[in-house]
């Protein structure tokens, strides 16, 4: 299929539709408005439904309702709106409902700014809402990768009955890149016998009770154990990571999303000069590619690790946990939506080599 | 032996957990009877609230959601958009609907969402132990208005039925009470009409039901019925506010 030049937000929306998403609920916020705008045009054409909710709180609860009813449903927002969704994400995780949530991160805290940022890493990866749960978190670094991820995101959500977060940033949403969209007129959907699709007491399908309340301590514990067991399987089977020129590297960079692209440019430039540096790019932030990071940095050749972020050091904590002290870990990053430059990264690497 | 009173088929065989004299149980039964009588059981789902009726999913023998506090109308919206030929109701208390969930209920009505809301106004936060609700009466003593609700301090009780009836998307809005048999009969007719409004795809429908909470009003069940009649009904007039 031919490549098409598309804006990130629109490409993601189309990829979601190709993955079987037929319901979208959202509230406008920059820099992701092209997602609801695209969905409002396209979903009616494929027999789906777009609804502009009165708030992000309502939007995520509509996703709960639609996902609970057996449909593939999605919402998207940007940082402040994602904060409002946390109550719903926690509910959806507990009620074991599949859902896909796109966050085109912008600068925070508070209203922050409207430029790309990576400040919501902790919120996405470490919980965000209350209670013992996880969401699967994908961190795409190009528009093509985001598109390819949407099918996987909906499949993962359905397979594990879990919320899935696409943690992209305003750059992914706003820039244009050539993409190849896989057309899928008849996406396959798994059976959902647990969904609310109507209950006949004479039938075989059990009555659906979609619930996040387990008032007895033992019952809540049973739920958490069930979720935990599922999380263990996810950790075994769903980790995605790119290790780029890490073999025999002297310095290993760690970065995700659009920042990883800048890092890759630095790696390429240095590699050309014969300087051995590589990049570990987590594609799933949860489950985290702990082993891949550890293996890459534990090589004898590695002198140091540099984590690069567009935030104040959040990925850094997971990198440190994965490195587990075997090599020194340094941090380079700025909040306020300041993208690190190739030159800046190269300069920093050269300093690390001298040390 | 002739059976003269039995459990409605749409209720499960689980005893209600409600206090003696509570209105929730009466209303549950009526909702179940209406679903049964309209023959819509296999296509009906409900959304339970956060409040004393939080366990409603244990009692109603239909597909059920439990929603976060106040969000039931949004959850019902999601369901209804996926299954437009099915029926869905939300069941919400006054803290749930008239305080934390005002945005969700107003906008469900505003969209003319084809859902039915059963709104239990007991002028109190029952589940959390008797705090002031937006519907608590002026002068009413609660655990967070120990000197009596003051209108200067926190306004006058909110009249949701009147307010929602001003919204174009509302197709049927009524207020009823469960303080005596005549009113209970009227209440059931109103619930039926609300579901029929949804079946006829006319728009949003809601029945507000004045309902006693003897436990947190500090009254016996009989005193509570009297208090409801003497204090709530004068402020919250019964009747139909909107019918299209
Ligand atoms: C987000 C959130 N805030 C607060 C609560 C605590 N809470 C539980 S029930 C309730 C009040 C319920 O009162 P109402 O809706 O009037 O129902 P009733 O118990 O009177 O039937 C509150 C505040 C909660 N569960 N979730
Ligand atoms: S506390 Fe009040 S509303 Fe709750 S069950 Fe008891 S009487 Fe009913
Ligand atoms: Mg109440």
- Read off the pLDDT of residues A239-280 as tens digits, 9 standing for 90 and up: 999 999 999 999 999 999 999 999 999 999 999 999 999 999
* Segment holding A169, helix H or strand E: strand A163-169
pLDDT of residue A127: 86
Say if B4 falls within a structural domain: no
Q: Is the pLDDT of residue B3 over 90?
A: no
Nearest bound ligand to CA B54? Answer: 1
Interchain pair B103, A57: CB under 8 A: yes
Which residues, listed in sequence order, are joined to residue A105 by a DSSP beta bridge? A169
Interchain pair B63, A207: CB under 8 A: yes
Q: pLDDT tens digit string along B133-164?
A: 999 999 999 999 999 999 999 999 999 999 99
Q: How confident is the model at residue A77 (pLDDT cuts 50, 70, 90)?
A: very high
Taking alpha carbons only, the member of A282, A280, A315 closest to residue A295 is A280
Q: Is the pLDDT of residue A102 over 90?
A: yes
Say if B209 falls within a structural domain: yes
Say if B10 falls within a structural domain: no
Query: Which of B136, B179, B215 to mutate to test ligand 2, by most ligand atoms within 8 A of the CB atom?
Result: B215
Q: pLDDT tens digit string along A301-332?
A: 999 999 999 999 999 999 999 999 999 999 99
Residue B68 Cα to ligand 2 midpoint, Å, equals 19
Q: Does A74 lie at the interface with B, CB-CB under 8 angstroms?
A: no
Rounded Cα–Cα distance for residues B192 and B66 (Å): 23
Please give the distance of CA B168 from its chain centroid, rounded to a whole number. 21
pLDDT of residue A184: 82
Q: Is the pLDDT of residue B1 over 80?
A: no
Nearest bound ligand to CA B95? Answer: 1
- Beta carbons of B101 and B164 less than 8 angstroms apart: no
Beta-carbon count within 10 A of A13 CB: 31
Segment B46-54 shows an average pLDDT of 98
Please give the distance of CA B158 from its chain centroid, rounded to a whole number. 15
Q: Which domain holds residue B236?
A: 24-243
Q: Is A295 left (phi over 0), alpha (psi -120 to 50) or beta?
A: alpha
Query: How many residues comprise chain A?
Result: 355
Both tokens of residue A33?
Answer: 């408005």
Residue B125 Cα to ligand 1 midpoint, Å, equals 6
Which is it for the CA torsion A295, A298, A303, A305, positive or negative? positive
- Beta carbons of A57 and B74 less than 8 angstroms apart: yes
Kindly give the pairing relationship between strand A163-169 and strand A329-333: unpaired
Q: How confident is the model at residue B211 (pLDDT cuts 50, 70, 90)?
A: very high
Which is it for the CA torsion A217, A220, A224, A230, positive or negative? positive
Both tokens of residue A27?
Answer: 């509230």
pLDDT of residue B4: 86
Interchain pair A208, B63: CB under 8 A: yes
In which order are the strands placed within the sheet that holds A277-282? A241-244, A277-282, A251-254, A304-309, A329-333
Q: What is the DSSP string of chain B?
A: ----S---TTB-S----PPTT-SHHHHHHHHHHHHHHHT-GGGEEEEE-SSGGGGHHHHB-SEEEE-STT-HHHHHHHHHHH-TTSEEEEEEEHHIIIIITHHHHHHHHHTT-S-EEEEEE-SSBTTTTSB--TTPPTT--BTTBTT---HHHH-PPP-HHHHHHTSTTEEEEEEEE-SSHHHHHHHHHHHHHHHHHHHTT--EEEEEEE---HHHHT--HHHHHHHIIIIIHHHS--EEEEE-
- The minimum CA-CA distance between B173 and chain A, rounded to whole Å, is 21
Chain A hits for B45, Cβ within 8 Å:
69, 196, 198-199, 208
Segment B38-67 shows an average pLDDT of 98
Ligand 2 proximity of B213 Cβ (cutoff 6 Å) = yes
ipTM here = 0.97
Ligand 2 proximity of B22 Cβ (cutoff 6 Å) = yes
Phi, psi of A294 (to 5 degrees): -60, -45
Beta-carbon count within 10 A of A254 CB: 29
Taking alpha carbons only, the member of B166, B145, B173, B161 closest to residue B232 is B161
Ligand 1 proximity of B95 Cβ (cutoff 6 Å) = yes
Question: Structural domain tally of chain B?
Answer: 1
Q: How confident is the model at residue A85 (pLDDT cuts 50, 70, 90)?
A: very high
- Beta carbons of A230 and A162 less than 8 angstroms apart: yes
Q: Which of B9, B78, B107 shows the shortest C-beta gap to A65? A: B78
Interchain pair A64, B65: CB under 8 A: yes
Taking alpha carbons only, the member of B243, B240, B232, B170 closest to residue B23 is B232
Say if B238 falls within a structural domain: yes
pLDDT of residue A189: 86
A7: three-class secondary structure by DSSP:
strand
Query: For position B155, which CATH number holds?
Result: 3.40.50.970
Q: What is the mean pLDDT of chain B?
A: 97
Rounded Cα–Cα distance for residues A79 and A83 (Å): 6
Q: How confident is the model at residue A1 (pLDDT cuts 50, 70, 90)?
A: low
Chain B hits for A200, Cβ within 8 Å:
42
pLDDT of residue B33: 98
pLDDT of residue A280: 98
Both tokens of residue B22?
Answer: 């509570």
Contacts for A156 with CB less than 8 Å, ≥ 6 apart: A136, A162, A164, A234, A238
Longest Cα–Cα distance of chain A, Å, equals 76
Say if B58 falls within a structural domain: yes
pLDDT of residue A101: 98
Residue B215 Cα to ligand 2 midpoint, Å, equals 6
Q: Does A57 lie at the interface with B, CB-CB under 8 angstroms?
A: yes
Query: How many residues comprise chain B?
Result: 244
Both tokens of residue A186?
Answer: 């008849």
Both tokens of residue A91?
Answer: 């509910």
Residue of B nearest to A195 (CA): B63
- The minimum CA-CA distance between A109 and chain B, rounded to whole Å, is 24
* Burial annotation B209-230 (CB, 10 A radius, 16+ → b, else e): bbbbbbbbbebeeeebbebbbe
Segment A203-215 shows an average pLDDT of 96
Residue B109 Cα to ligand 3 midpoint, Å, equals 21
pLDDT of residue A2: 82
Kindly give the pairing relationship between strand A176-179 and strand A4-7: antiparallel
- Beta carbons of B178 and B26 less than 8 angstroms apart: yes
Q: How confident is the model at residue B75 (pLDDT cuts 50, 70, 90)?
A: very high
Segment B21-32 shows an average pLDDT of 98
Q: Which of B63, B81, B104 shows the shortest C-beta gap to A198? A: B63
Say if B127 falls within a structural domain: yes
Q: Is B114 left (phi over 0), alpha (psi -120 to 50) or beta?
A: beta
Rounded Cα–Cα distance for residues A245 and A294 (Å): 15
Atom number, ligand 1, closest to the C-alpha of residue A87: 1
Domains assigned to chain A: 4-195+228-236 (3.40.50.970), 242-354 (3.40.50.920)
Interchain pair B79, A66: CB under 8 A: yes
Of all protein residues, whose CA lies closest to atom 2 belonging to ligand 1?
B69
Say if B32 falls within a structural domain: yes
Say if B231 falls within a structural domain: yes
Nearest bound ligand to CA B92? Answer: 1
Q: What is the mean pLDDT of chain A?
A: 96
């Amino acid at each position: 299929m031919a490549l098409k030049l598309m804006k990130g937000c629109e490409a993601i929306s189309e990829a979601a539709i190709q993955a079987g998403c037929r319901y979208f609920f959202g509230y406008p916020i920059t820099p992701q408005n092209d997602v609801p705008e695209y969905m409002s045009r396209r979903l009616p054409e494929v027999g789906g439904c777009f609804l502009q909710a009165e708030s992000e709180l309502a939007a995520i609860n509509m996703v709960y309702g639609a996902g609970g009813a057996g449909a593939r449903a999605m919402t998207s927002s940007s940082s402040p709106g994602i904060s409002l969704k946390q109550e719903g994400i926690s509910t959806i995780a507990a009620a074991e409902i599949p859902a896909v949530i796109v966050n085109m991160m912008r600068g925070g805290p508070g209203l922050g700014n409207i430029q790309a940022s990576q400040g919501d890493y902790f919120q996405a990866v470490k919980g965000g809402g209350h209670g013992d749960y996880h969401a699967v978190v994908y961190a795409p670094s190009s528009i093509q990768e985001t598109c390819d991820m949407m099918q996987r995101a909906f499949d993962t959500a359905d397979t594990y009955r879990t919320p899935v977060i696409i943690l992209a940033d305003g750059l992914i949403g706003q820039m244009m890149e050539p993409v190849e969209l896989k057309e899928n007129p008849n996406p396959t959907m798994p059976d959902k016998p647990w969904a609310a699709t109507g209950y006949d007491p004479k039938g075989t399908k059990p009555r659906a009770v979609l619930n996040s309340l387990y008032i007895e301590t033992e019952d809540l514990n049973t739920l958490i154990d069930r979720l935990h067991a599922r999380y263990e399987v996810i950790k075994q089977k769903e980790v995605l990571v790119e290790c780029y020129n890490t073999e025999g590297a002297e310095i290993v960079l760690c970065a995700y999303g659009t920042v990883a692209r800048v890092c890759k440019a630095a790696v390429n430039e240095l590699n050309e000069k014969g300087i051995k540096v590589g990049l570990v790019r987590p594609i799933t932030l949860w489950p985290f590619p702990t082993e891949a990071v550890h293996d890459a940095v534990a090589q004898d050749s590695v002198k140091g690790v540099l984590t690069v972020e567009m935030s104040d050091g959040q990925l850094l904590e997971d990198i440190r946990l994965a490195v587990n002290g075997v090599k020194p870990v340094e941090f380079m990053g700025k909040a306020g939506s300041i993208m690190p430059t190739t030159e800046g990264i190269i300069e920093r690497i050269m300093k690390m080599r001298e040390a | 032996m002739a059976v003269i009173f039995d459990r409605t088929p749409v209720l499960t065989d689980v005893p209600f957990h409600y206090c003696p004299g509570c209105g929730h149980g009466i209303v549950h039964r009526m909702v179940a009877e209406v679903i049964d009588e309209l023959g819509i059981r296999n296509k009906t789902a409900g959304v339970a609230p956060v409040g004393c009726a939080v366990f409603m999913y244990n009692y109603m023998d239909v597909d059920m959601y439990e929603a976060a506090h106040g969000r039931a109308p949004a959850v019902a919206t999601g369901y209804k958009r996926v299954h437009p030929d099915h029926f869905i109701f939300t069941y919400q208390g006054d803290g749930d609907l008239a305080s934390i969930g005002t945005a969700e209920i107003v906008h469900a009505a505003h969209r003319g969402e084809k859902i039915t809301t059963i709104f239990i106004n007991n002028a109190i936060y029952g589940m959390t132990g008797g705090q002031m609700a937006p519907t608590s009466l002026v002068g009413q003593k609660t655990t967070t208005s120990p000197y009596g609700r003051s209108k200067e301090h926190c306004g006058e009780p909110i009249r949701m039925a009147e307010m929602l009836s001003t919204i174009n998307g509302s197709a049927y809005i009524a207020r009823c009470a469960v303080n005596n048999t005549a009113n209970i009969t009227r209440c059931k007719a109103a619930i039926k009409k609300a579901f029929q409004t949804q079946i006829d795809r006319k728009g949003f429908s809601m029945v507000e039901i004045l309902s006693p909470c003897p436990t947190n009003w500090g009254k016996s069940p009989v005193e509570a019925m009297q208090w409801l009649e003497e204090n709530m009904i004068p402020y919250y007039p019964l009747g139909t506010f909107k019918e299209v």
